[in-house]
Structure formats: structure tokens, C-alpha cells
Structure 1
Amino acid sequence: MASHEQALVSLLNHVALSLDGAVLGVALAYVAVRSVLKFTFNYTALGKLRKAPSVSVSDLRSLLGDSETEGNSKNSQLVIVRGTVEAKSVVDSSWKSFRPAILVSWESGDKAVVVQRTQTCIYNEWKGFFGWTSDLRALFSRSRRQRESTSFRTVPFVLIDGRQWTHADYVVVNLDGSRHPLPLTTVYQKLQPINASPYTFLQALFGHEYPVGLLDEEKILPLGKDINAVGLCSFRDGIAEIRSSKDLPYFLTEMSKDQLLVDLAFKTNILFWGGIIFGSMSVAILGYAAIRNWNKWKEWRLRRQLQQQGHDVSNDADSQTAGDDEPEEVPDGQLCIICLMRRRRSVFIPCGHLVCCQGCAILVEREVAPKCPVCRQQIRNSVRIFDS
């Protein structure tokens, strides 16, 4: 690891552990709250999936009944429908059925109802001779850089029972408002290198990122693919229609009901224990930080009070002892062992040691737990000694 990377890691570590770990505790608490919210969402979705019936397209009408109430969401029911992908134009009884509206993959030529083409630009990772600023630049500019462009095309499609399909048994798939991932199949993937230009050398020299390759991918939802649709199903003008539910993390998937339950139960358990672990860690760290900072604040307040009292006492002691010391030199054996400036004048009670001047004796006596500086015995007060 380079020196600037070590400095960056050290800075992040210092920020995380600042205030005795309070910042780290808050971050862990945020992760714990997010885990709990996701756990609640997944737990609710798991209960709904367990109750949802899993049927084929041909059995859907008998399950829901032949209701033709248009746009009535109260008649919607959560179901798991197993079917085969087919273009909607095939089942339309109109002149359009002679020209089915389907999509064709640009590269493989496969017929599909959804085509997603993505171009991802790959940048270099070398930091160059003057690239010590690239890490800081990457924190702010890399997230804003447009690294990929995606084109998404779709045509209306339905699910049919591929084994015993009649033109009356199909369910229309409504993708409006759905943000769930689709079970797309990759049919094309190619990495094309980008030729370097004279400007590329300067970019590399000063640590700026420059493109080195372009990854081209194409994914499709092909005709004839068997998938499960998990959503709210209802009849509109006598035609079954299924749409996604915001309360579920799945819509179109290749997994069966049992696989969905196992996958969602595993994620729910991970979120549950993750929330408990991160929550316990955040409570422990925040509690430790609160106690430590509270003790530091009390120590700081006590120290300020003692400094203020010591300042006042020192002024009083200086004024009292200003005229007591003789102008001649004080022998070494009679100097105060604390300030080493004035003559020993005060005796500590009960140990009886005469080792301090009056001012230093008053300062020792005003401490929280006053002790004799010689024998370390706790003292009650001090007595001024006068020469005869």
C-alpha cells in the first residue's frame, strides 16, 4: 500500500474512532436500523409468499373467478403463476397478429420481448508519477462519471401454458412501475480495446483516468422461456393481468415457490442476526463513548475548578508570605520541596512533616484527596510554624 493510501486509511480510521468511537457507533447504528427495516420488509413478504397459491396459467381463471371489474384493485389476489413467455401480439385477435410485435437481438438474432444493451467504459487504475491526488479526486469525481450507458427495449408480452395452450388461457404481464430485476439471459458480450491517443500519455503521467476498453453486453428475455410471475393478478375486461407488488422483492423470476421461500428465508435470517449484531455493537460502543466523554467532561470541570481555586489561593498565599521570608538566602535543607523558593513554614497534621511553605501547603490541602508529599499519608490540615 502506498504512503498516500496509508494516510487516507489512517485519516478514515481516526474519524471513525473520534470521540472515543462515537462516530463508529453511529455508523453501526445506521446499519442496524437499515437491517431491521429490511428484515421487517422481508419477513412480511415471506408471510405473503407462503400464503400465495402457485398455479399454472390454465388454472388461473378457476382460482380467481371470471370477474370483469375493470381497474378494481380489491379483486386483485397475490399469486405465483408459472408460464411461458410469448408476445402479446400473438394472442391479439386483430390484423396485427399477422405481424407479431417482437424484438430481435442485434447480435445473436434471437427473438425476444425484452432487449437490454449495455456499454460499460473501463478506465485504467495506474496512478502515474504525479497521481498522489487521484485518490482524493476519485472520492468525488468517480461517482459522477458516466461509466455505462444502457438502452432498454420491450414489447407487451404474456405468459401462456406452453404444454396445453389455448388462445383463451393467457395472462398479460404489466411492467408499468416495476423496478424489480428481470430474468434476462446474456446472449452477447465483447470487450473492445480503445486505442491510445497522444493525450493519453499526459493523462497517465499526471494520474488522470483514461479509457482502455469498452465492454458491450446484450441481455434478452427470449420467447419460450419458462418463468414465474409473482404479483397481484386480476381480470381486466375479462383478460387476466398480473403486475408487480411493492411489498415483494420478486416479480419475474426463474425460481419456483419453494426456491423463493428458501432464498427469502435465508436473507431474512441474515438480516435478523445482522441487525442484532450491529445493534449490540453500536449500543456497546455508544455507551462506552458516552461514559468516557462524561468522565472526561467531569474531570475537565473539576480541573477548571481546582485551577481557579488554586489561582485564588496562590494569590492569597503570595500576599501572606510576601513579608515572611527573610531577605537572605534560605539554606537548601530548609527550602520547600514543592516550589524550592520559600522557607518551610507549615506542618501537616497528623503526620507532622515540615516540608512545605505556607502557600504550597494550602494548595496540597485543597486537593481532592490531600496527601503528605513525603510519606503519602492522608492529611487533615496544616499548621503554620512561627520562629520565636
Structure 2
Amino acid sequence: MVPWGGFTCCLSAAALYLLGRSSGRDAEVLKSVTRVNQLKELAQLLDTACKVLPLVVTISGRVGSDTPISCEYSGLRGVIVEETAEQHFLKHNDAGSWIQDSALMLSMCKEVPWYLDDGTDRVYVVGARGATGLVLTVGSEVFEESGRSLVRGTLDYLQGLKMLGVKRIERVLPTGTPLTVVGEAVKDDIGTIRIQRPYKGPFYVSHKTIDQLIANLGKWARWYKYASVGFTVFGVFLLAKHAFQYIMERRRHWELRRRVLAAAAKRPGQDNEGSTGNDENGSDNTKKDRLLPDLCVICLEQEYNSVFVPCGHMCSCMACSSHLTNCPLCRRRIEQVVRTFRH
């Protein structure tokens, strides 16, 4: 039997190790990015440093926009607004009970051009929805009860459904929110500076500072590595245990085989001796026959002592015969097992 538990633990350990290594590598990359303390310094930095290689920087400021979105339910003003609507209902299952379930009805997102402003200058952020670490604030969460008519409700009930209502959730990135952005800084032809996803490198939009991001990645890297070591040790233990059990099982079968072959090798000589001296004495021959062990064909440990009815075969012990439904020799169904006793 394949030790799937041990292999699974080892594969999980390898995956966790790779995750920890990736988190540690991201933390080292964040340590190497250029930190911009004031946004007014970024333009001069781009003029000097961006002529050879792409400039990956980290900046901080508050969210702003010239055309913010006014949220319908919460009344907040934001630059990214996500609206979802879920239909909640009770569903009749095969067991005869009602279980609660939901289905997505609407998923919509709006985004306007926005920037970070620290009081010295502003820098536009592009493609923030695809960045790592962006968490939108839940502006409102409203549950509208189902107002279906009696006829519609009856039709739903006949189909095994009971409509409860619609849950609408509004998530928003409000203006004035302090953010830290890590990405590639570029300047267009008219002098507008923006931060975007680099071709190769980190792209973060987070409420945490750059130091908090580095500390968090380092913490996860350590936890992944500790978990990897734990899964490795447990997986090796399971594999070693399976290997030990396999070796002991093979040794037990080899020992039983050796005993059976040794008894079979003695049998011919004993039969010849009995035929020359005591042919007329049946009891002596029976005692000599018992020198060859009548082992159960299932476990090869106990002597067979059970008779199958109605086929009459006797080839297993009582312990093994209790788990059988058909005779191992003729495959006939066993209706009764009768135990035999040796005198």
C-alpha cells in the first residue's frame, strides 16, 4: 500500500518552503527599493536615476481625485467603488430539509483617475486594483427582504426554493485615505508623474507603511519555514513507519514460508518410515501427519479448524472465516461455519 500520508506531508512541506522563500525574497526586494520621503523630490529623482534603469520607489500620501465617485448607499466619496448583490434563499435538498445558499447577481466596479498627495506634490497611481495588499473599506451592507408576489413565491416553492432577499455590499477606497504605494515611477511627455506596475518587481498598494510591509513578509517567511520543517519531520516519520512495517511484514511471511517448506521437507521421510513399520496402525500415521502444520490459507499463522457448509471445504481458522462470505477454494457462498476439534 502506498503511504500517501507521508508523500502528502512532504509535498506540503516543499510548497510551504517555496512560499517562505518567496516571502523572504519579496522582503529583501522591498528593502532595496528607493524611499521617497517627499513627493516633490520624485521629479528630480526621475530626471537623474531613470535614464538607465526603471526606477522602483515607495511613496506615501493621501488619496485624492479631481472627479471622485459619490457612493449610492453609504454617501462616501471614493476613487474605487465595488458593488456586489447576492440573492439569498433556502434550497430544499434530497434529505427533505432546507439549507441556506446564495448566488451572485451583480458585480460592478468603478474607478476614476486618482493620486497620492502629501502636501508637497501629487503622484497618480495606475492599475491599483491589480496590486498586492489593496483592501477596500466596506462602506455599506444592506439586506433587502424579498418582496415577491404570492404567485411568484408559490412557483419558487414548487421548484424547491424560498427567496429570503438580496444582500448589497458596497466597498470603497475613500478620498483622504493614507496609503503606501510601491511601484515603478514614470513621467509622461507633459511632466505628469505616475506609479504603475513594474515589468519585473514588486507592486504594492497598502494601508501599512513600508517598514510594516517588510516586517510582515519576514514574519510570514519564518512561519512558512517552521511549518515546512514540521511537515517534513512528520512526513519522514510516516514514511519510515510504513517502511518498518513493510520490512517486518515481509520478514514474517519469509519466516512462515520457511517453516512450511521445512515441514514439507520432513514429510516424505516420515511417510516412508510409517509405511514400512506401522501401515496397519492408523493412529500412528495421523500423529506423523500432524508434523506438517495445517495452516490457514488466509493468515498463515493459525491451524485451520472450520468447515464451510454446504461445500464442506476446510481451509481457514475461525477468526478468518468470520470475515468470509464465499469459500476461498470453490467460491461458493458460505451459509454456515462449523468448528472442528482435534483429538
The answer on whether the counterparts of 1:75 and 1:234 sit within 8 Å (CA) in structure 2 is: no
Provide the rounded CA distance (Å) in 1 between the counterparts of 2:142 and 2:81.
16
Q: RMSD across aligned C-alpha pairs, in angstroms?
A: 3.9
Taking the aligned partners of 1:36 and 1:29, their CA distance within structure 2 comes to: 10
Residues 299 and 123 of structure 1, relative CA distance in 2, 3 Å threshold? farther
- 1:264 alignment counterpart: 217
Q: 1:292 to 1:343 in 2, by over 3 A?
A: closer
How many residues are treated as equivalent by the alignment? 285
1:234–1:300: structure 2 CA closer, same or farther, 3 Å change rule?
A: farther
- How far the C-alpha of 1:253 sits from its partner, in A, is 0.9
Residue aligning to 1:78: 56
Deviates more, 1:50-59 or 1:239-248: 239-248
**Is 2:153 the partner of 1:197?**
yes
Question: What is the alpha-carbon distance in structure 1 between the residues aligned to residue 165 and residue 281 of structure 2?
Answer: 90
Distance 2:282 2:76 in 1: 108
Decide which structure has greater strand share. Answer: 2
User: Is the Cα contact below 8 Å between 2:23 and 2:221 reproduced in 1?
Assistant: yes
1:1-388 → structure 2 map (5 Å cutoff): 22-52=3-33, 53-65=35-47, 75-87=53-65, 90=66, 100=67, 102-122=68-88, 124=90, 129-130=95-96, 147=104, 149-161=106-118, 163-164=119-120, 169-175=121-127, 178-194=130-146, 197-198=153-154, 212-237=164-189, 238-244=191-197, 247-248=201-202, 251-300=204-253, 303=256, 309=261, 313=265, 316=268, 320=272, 323=275, 325-328=278-281, 330=283, 342-344=285-287, 357=288, 359-361=289-291
Percent of matched pairs sharing the same residue: 17
SS of the residue 1:232 aligns to? strand
Q: Given the superposition, is the C-alpha separation of residues 191 and 293 from structure 1 closer, same or farther in structure 2, using an over 3 Å criterion?
A: farther
Q: TM (normalized to structure 2)?
A: 0.67
Deviation digits for residues 77-113 of structure 1 (CA, Å, limit 9, x no counterpart): 33210122233xx4xxxxxxxxx4x433222343322
1:27 maps to amino acid: T
Query: Could you say which residue in structure 2 is the equivalent of 1:7?
Result: none
Deviation at 1:313, TM superposition (A): 4.1
* Contact preservation (8 Å) 1:54, 1:257: no
Secondary structure of residue in 2 paired with 1:255? coil
In the TM superposition, residue 213 of structure 1 has moved relative to its aligned partner by 4.1
Q: Measure the CA separation in 2 of the matches of 1:64 and 1:48.
A: 20
Deviation at 1:66, TM superposition (A): 5.1
Q: Identify if the C-alpha distance between structure 1 residues 50 and 126 changes in structure 2 by more than 3 Å, giving closer, same or farther.
A: farther
Deviation per CA, 1:193-252: give whole Å up to 9, x if none.
Answer: 346934665676xxxx8664432101112233221111222334343232235654x611
SS at match of 1:230: strand
The 1:294/1:149 distance shift into structure 2, 3 A limit, reads farther
CA distance in 2, matches of 1:313, 1:179: 79
Unaligned stretches of 5+ residues in structure 1: 1-17, 91-99, 135-141, 335-341, 345-356, 365-388
- Which amino acid in the other structure matches residue 158 of structure 1? Y
Measured in 1, the distance between the counterparts of 2:166 and 2:138 equals 17
Q: TM (normalized to structure 1)?
A: 0.60
User: Does the residue aligned with 1:75 lie in a helix, a strand or coil?
Assistant: coil
Q: 1:48 to 1:130 in 2, by over 3 A?
A: same
Distance change (3 Å), C-alpha of 1:303 and 1:123: farther
How far does residue 176 in structure 1 lie from its aligned partner after superposition?
7.5
Specify whether residues 328 and 292 from structure 1 end up closer, same or farther in structure 2 by C-alpha distance, changes over 3 A only.
closer
* Equivalent position amino acid for 1:118 in 2: T
1:124 to 1:259, Cα distance in 2 relative to 1, 3 A: farther
Confirm or deny: 8 A CA contact 2:264 2:292 kept in the other structure: no
CA 1:81/1:313 → structure 2, altered by over 3 Å: closer, same or farther? same
Q: 1:202 to 1:187 in 2, by over 3 A?
A: same
